[in-house]
Amino acid sequence: MEIDSAVVVDARGLACPLPVIRAKKGLNSVPVGALVEVLATDPGSVADFEAWTRSTGHELVQASQEQDRYTFLIRRTH
């Protein structure tokens, strides 16, 4: 299933907390209900995005890993 994201945030090569900070900026640039795709290489980003979306109320629609690349789809909820 292909999902269109409004913004792609490239956080590859960045360590915690920078991928989350970049994702927050991306979410702030889109309307409520839009998707932001975040690309990351930090293995810790999996737990970081799970915790961050849980604490902020945004929806982690999808999290996937392909070799050393992580992709997150986050829906802005407010």
User: What does the pLDDT look like over 17-29, one tens digit per residue?
Assistant: 999 999 999 999 9
Q: Which of 16, 18, 34, 60 is catalytic?
A: 16
**DSSP-derived secondary structure letter, 66:** E
At 2 the pLDDT is 56
On the question of a cis peptide bond just before residue 17, with omega within 30 degrees of 0, the verdict is yes
Query: Quick one: CATH architecture of 7-75?
Result: 2-Layer Sandwich (3.30)
* Structural domain boundaries in the chain: 7-75
Task: Identify the segments of the chain with pLDDT beneath 50.
Answer: 1
Q: What is the rounded distance in angstroms from the CA atom of residue 3 to the CA atom of residue 17?
A: 26
Residues linked to residue 3 through DSSP beta bridges, in sequence order: none
Known catalytic membership, residue 16:
yes
Taking the model in full, what pTM does it have?
0.92
At 9 the pLDDT is 97
